[in-house]
Structure 1
């Protein structure tokens, strides 16, 4: 598979991270990897995979792909400088620290999808400073988190994104109930390329 550039691992595949590293070694041209489930997440093995797949541009953890903690995510993105698209499922522990690590390690990032991230204005401001080419940002929350978690963004985060990411085209912030008319004014004034905006009430459930 030396010429393989894209792979999608389905739900009935139960890879371990060590298997992914071996896979990446055999496929040096791998640019895009979509995972629906991997088993036995270990930080060191995840870092080994990231170091091996240095040319990876798209990485997606979908569905119940894995329970990946914040420390492992931070270590992983430190070794993915070519990444342009990153999708982190509900089972990934996305915090302000993780967003800061993404900003520092993935300067070429254009798309970031998260669901129920434990993020605040601090993490979003880091993204705005470190990922100026960001086109798509998904920070949607779901009902079960909005009732229990104080980790939400405010107008301050939206202001940072629209001023730091001048190519922003899609913004998904459903469930972020602290946003006000000020955010809409910031978007109108500073996001001329925006063509998709979702800022509805939180959804009840998600399969992401």
Structure 2
């Protein structure tokens, strides 16, 4: 885990997980985002997990690592920030998917906020061959699909996505937002017209996503 502390007392805290389709990627990819968030007064961390074929046999192994990293970050949060501040997780693409699953399944994590960059929210739309490689034996796409796992009381969520994304289609993000709002929860979707998957790594989208993330986090719960 790479930790980025703000110069003064934190205004919020977030741990982000990288994308890469569960087969590629590293925490360093989100170093620019975390550096920029720390400059905005946010305690930020970039974290990783075992990848499929590189220590992980299925998505359950990846998810277990994400839960472990979230617990480590939560301990840092309690050491470095006031407990009344927002505690968030999230990430890009597959990393956002894992962070979202970690907050929707299993025991209550204590994370009350999510910030997600072009996340996978409907696993039923994933290419069959990729899905088969990721699933545990005996499980289905719905069992790892956040859209199918939503329940009232989900963490307040900010989504950032491009309208030309073919990996995490904007229609799935809109459906996820509408489902959260229909359950009485807070969900904001910021759309970037014509932007494709992983749009948030380059300007001008990078700066806009960082500003949007900082704004959402520091508005409180």
TM range (shorter): 0.3 to 0.5
TM-score (norm: length of structure 1): 0.42
Structure number with the bigger relative contact order (C-alpha 8 A, sep ≥ 6) is 2
Bigger radius of gyration = 1
Return the structure number with greater helix share. Answer: 2
